[in-house]
């Protein structure tokens, strides 16, 4: 039998996501990175996919601006005008004062916010971040007023790591400001990169103010919600729209969802949809247009909206008011027609110097995700795509954080820059704190998986370190490197509260990781700095770990209490050891403890 290799790997030159190329993985199958081009980090195209646009934000400068050749020190690379020079910069009219990150980038300036983003995105230099902003492929949503509070600048764009957003906000029937601030803190703890206040009840102004004051992440809103509090949608007019936008911009909101892509000629395409319009903003504006027999008021005053947003450096999140609410309505005429309108609005916003990202669909069959991502990339000239999910099936309410993070992983790999989380309460009710945690974790998984697949430098390093700890059966290091150490430790100790050379899945004799570690020819489990040392009885459960096990309901209260209240006497520890330390046990004792636990489970089942 031949042992010759009869296959070839589809390597295209992508960066290995492991800094040290650890292990035997050959690296990413994605395209080679083109920072400064339309394919920064990108997936290979399935045949028939739309190619990237040949235009950038450099093609949509404000009136009176020109482009000139510049030096490496004073200008931008990563543009689409090589006929002018390798490095270019914009020249604004005399006495022009730049306000937005986009304006400053076009002028060749590197701002403190760009420097901060470079420190957080260590695969990008500050100059590369400036260049991507100038091209319209990356934004830093940082309202000049929010920067006076606790905002830590971050970037959204396909050259950067994939970001996630957490939604919160009080409703007319549930929650209030204090609870929403607590959800904000909770979402930041679990990795949210931005947060949106979607409040439709309670004191909206106070809630928004509190979230801006407390947040270290950018805050987005859907201003139309506040515009119609206390009035009918039919009463909405230009004055109300502009006054509310000015008010929220002055408060410090970092990005606005504006549903200006919904136009009257889209509405007939909605008539045969199974679930109509599921966007609150989209449905409200559709009703307004039908009632008044006029165009969308967000369109008719769009230039004035841009002027307000520029004054405070508020970024656009151009809303997908006609996104599909079920698989049956995905990729239809209304959805894609609105996307075409959003592309035009992107160009207009750029001519005003306003940063732009584009919102995308929420329910899309898995096979159509790549097309949706790459069509937006083409039509909107590479502007960052911010997508909800998408959900890839509709029949799992209560588990839509899972159905959607599957689609979100594909979306991130195929071009989305930010993923809006979905919680287990999606379609069912207002999420509580634990729902926020579950949504954030599901979406951190999706974002991280996409980044590794795209070959973003260094994104697999922590995975590799955890694998080394796992191979060495170094449980504490394994938990420390995990995203949620408390849950990992609690689930481990639920079956066997000893850190030894096996777990309760296989036991000692069947542990393949232990066996691999013992084979001298294998490197497995022998990485320097990862040796576990002697077997240890784990420390008492923390309050959070105890709560995790209580919610699971597998162990009875007495068993959980025993794990949470270990003492020297209870564990047979050396009396001279500090009580905060784990207790040493022999390998044989560990096996006996496992056998004892198994016998207790059998007896309790009788």
Closest CA to 59 of 137, 156, 157, 162: 137
Question: What count of other Cβ atoms lies within 10 Å of the Cβ of residue 418?
Answer: 30
Kindly state the tokens that stand for 569: 């006497």
Residue 205, H or E segment: helix 204-214
How far is residue 122's CA from residue 127's CA, in Å, rounded to a whole number? Answer: 12
How high does pLDDT run on average in the chain?
Answer: 92
DSSP-assigned states of every residue in 438-478: HHHHHHHHHHHHHHHHHT-TTTTHHHHHHHHHHHTT-HHHH
Kindly state the tokens that stand for 581: 């330390």
Query: What predicted TM-score, i.e. pTM, was given to this entire model?
Result: 0.92
In degrees and rounded to multiples of 5, residue 193 shows phi and psi of -90, -25
Q: The tokens 């609410």 sit on which residue?
A: 325
- Sequence-distant (6+) residues with CB within 8 A of 489 are 479, 538, 541, 545
How far is residue 518's CA from residue 339's CA, in Å, rounded to a whole number? Answer: 58
β-pairing, 583-584 with 385-388? unpaired
Percentage of the residues of the chain whose pLDDT score is greater than 90: 80
How far is residue 211's CA from residue 526's CA, in Å, rounded to a whole number? Answer: 47
Give the pLDDT band of residue 498 (cuts 50, 70, 90): confident
Question: Which sign does the torsion angle of CA 134, 140, 144, 147 carry?
Answer: negative
Query: What does the pLDDT read at residue 580?
Result: 32
Mean predicted confidence (pLDDT) in 237-262: 98
Query: What does the pLDDT read at residue 572?
Result: 40
3-state secondary structure at position 4: coil
What would the pLDDT profile of 39-63 be if each residue is shown by its tens digit? 999 999 999 999 999 999 999 999 9
Q: Are 82 and 67 in contact (CB under 8 A)?
A: no
Q: Are 220 and 317 in contact (CB under 8 A)?
A: yes
Domains with residue ranges and CATH for the chain: 137-454 (3.20.20.540), 461-605 (no CATH)
Query: What does the pLDDT read at residue 347?
Result: 98
Query: What does the pLDDT read at residue 533?
Result: 84
Give the pLDDT band of residue 411 (cuts 50, 70, 90): very high
Closest CA to 502 of 481, 525, 527: 525
3-state secondary structure at position 89: strand
How far is residue 452's CA from residue 429's CA, in Å, rounded to a whole number? Answer: 33
Q: The tokens 């409040």 sit on which residue?
A: 199
> 369-379 and 400-414 are packed helices; what angle lies between their axes, rounded to 10 degrees?
50
Q: The tokens 């764009």 sit on which residue?
A: 157
Alpha carbon separation from 586 to 510, 538, 541, 601 (Å, rounded): 19, 13, 21, 23
How far is residue 202's CA from residue 53's CA, in Å, rounded to a whole number? Answer: 44
Kindly state the tokens that stand for 273: 């949809």
582 has a pLDDT exceeding 50: no
Q: Using alpha carbons only, how large is the chain's radius of gyration in Å? A: 27
Mean predicted confidence (pLDDT) in 145-149: 98
How far is residue 316's CA from residue 196's CA, in Å, rounded to a whole number? Answer: 13
DSSP-assigned states of every residue in 290-338: HHHTS--HHHHTHHHHHHHHHHHTPEEEE--TT--SSGGGTT-HHHHHH
Evaluate the omega torsion of the peptide bond into residue 315 and state whether it is cis, within 30 degrees of 0.
no
How far is residue 316's CA from residue 567's CA, in Å, rounded to a whole number? Answer: 57
How far is residue 138's CA from residue 126's CA, in Å, rounded to a whole number? Answer: 12
What would the pLDDT profile of 519-557 be if each residue is shown by its tens digit? 999 999 999 999 988 888 888 989 999 999 898 888 888
Question: What count of other Cβ atoms lies within 10 Å of the Cβ of residue 474?
Answer: 22
Distance of CA 147 to the CA centre of its chain: 21
Q: Are 386 and 317 in contact (CB under 8 A)?
A: yes
Of the two residues 118 and 554, the one the predictor is more confident about is 118
What would the pLDDT profile of 149-182 be if each residue is shown by its tens digit? 999 999 999 999 999 999 998 877 776 888 999 9
Give the pLDDT band of residue 574 (cuts 50, 70, 90): very low
Evaluate the omega torsion of the peptide bond into residue 390 and state whether it is cis, within 30 degrees of 0.
yes
425 has a pLDDT exceeding 90: yes
How far is residue 89's CA from residue 127's CA, in Å, rounded to a whole number? Answer: 13
Query: What does the pLDDT read at residue 2?
Result: 60
Query: What does the pLDDT read at residue 430?
Result: 87
Question: What count of other Cβ atoms lies within 10 Å of the Cβ of residue 387?
Answer: 29
């Amino acid at each position: 039998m031949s042992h010759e290799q009869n296959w070839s790997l589809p390597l295209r030159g992508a960066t290995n996501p492991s800094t040290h190329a650890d292990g035997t993985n050959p690296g990413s199958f994605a395209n080679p990175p083109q920072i400064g081009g339309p394919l920064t980090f990108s997936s290979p195209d399935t045949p028939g996919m739309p190619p990237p646009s040949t235009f950038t934000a450099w093609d949509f400068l404000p009136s009176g601006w020109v482009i000139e050749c510049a030096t490496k020190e004073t200008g931008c690379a990563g543009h689409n005008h090589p006929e002018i020079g390798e490095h270019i910069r914009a020249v604004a009219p005399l006495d022009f004062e730049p306000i937005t990150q986009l304006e400053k980038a076009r002028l060749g300036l590197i701002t403190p916010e760009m420097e901060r983003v470079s420190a957080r995105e260590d695969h990008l230099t500050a100059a590369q971040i400036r260049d991507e902003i100038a091209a319209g492929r990356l934004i830093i949503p940082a309202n000049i007023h929010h920067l006076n509070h606790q905002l830590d600048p971050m970037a959204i764009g396909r050259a950067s790591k994939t970001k996630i957003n957490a939604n919160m906000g009080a409703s007319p029937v549930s929650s209030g400001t204090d609870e929403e601030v607590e959800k904000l803190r909770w979402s930041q703890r679990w990795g949210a990169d931005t947060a949106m206040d979607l409040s439709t009840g309670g004191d909206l102004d106070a809630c928004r103010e509190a979230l801006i004051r407390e947040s270290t992440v950018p805050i987005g809103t859907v201003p139309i919600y506040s515009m119609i509090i206390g009035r009918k949608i039919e009463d909405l007019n230009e004055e109300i729209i502009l006054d509310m936008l000015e008010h929220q911009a002055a408060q410090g909101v970092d990005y606005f969802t504006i549903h200006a892509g919904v136009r009257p000629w889209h509405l007939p395409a909605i008539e045969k949809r199974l679930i109509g319009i599921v966007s609150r903003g989209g449905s409200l504006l559709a009703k307004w247009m039908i009632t008044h027999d006029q165009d969308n008021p967000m369109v008719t005053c769009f230039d004035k909206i841009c002027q307000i947003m520029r004054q405070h450096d508020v970024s656009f999140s151009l809303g997908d008011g006609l996104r599909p609410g079920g698989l049956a309505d995905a990729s239809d005429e209304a959805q894609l027609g609105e996307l075409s309108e959003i592309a035009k609005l992107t160009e207009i916003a750029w001519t005003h110097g306003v940063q732009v990202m584009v919102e995308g669909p929420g329910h899309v069959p898995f096979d159509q995700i790549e097309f949706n991502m790459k069509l937006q990339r083409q039509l909107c000239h590479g502007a960052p795509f911010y997508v909800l999910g998408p959900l890839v099936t509709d029949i799992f309410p209560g588990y839509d954080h899972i159905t959607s993070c599957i689609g979100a992983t594909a979306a991130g790999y195929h071009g989305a820059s930010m993923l809006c989380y979905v919680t287990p309460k999606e379609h069912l009710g207002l999420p509580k704190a634990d729902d926020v945690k579950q949504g954030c974790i599901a979406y951190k998984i999706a974002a991280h998986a996409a980044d590794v697949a795209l070959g973003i430098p260094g994104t697999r390093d922590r995975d590799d370190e955890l694998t080394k700890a796992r191979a060495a059966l170094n449980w504490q290091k394994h938990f420390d490197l995990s995203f949620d150490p408390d849950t990992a430790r609690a689930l481990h100790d639920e079956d066997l509260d000893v850190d030894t050379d096996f777990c309760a899945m296989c036991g000692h004799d069947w542990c393949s990781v232990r066996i691999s570690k013992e084979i001298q020819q294998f490197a497995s489990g022998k990485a320097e700095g990862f040796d576990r040392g002697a077997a240890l009885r784990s420390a008492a459960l923390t309050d959070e770990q105890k709560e995790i096990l209580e919610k699971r309901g597998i162990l009875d209260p007495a068993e959980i209490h025993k794990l949470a209240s270990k003492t020297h006497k209870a564990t047979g520890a050396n009396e001279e050891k500090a009580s905060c330390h784990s207790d040493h046990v022999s390998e044989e004792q560990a096996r006996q403890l496992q056998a004892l636990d198994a016998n207790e489970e059998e007896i309790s089942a009788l």
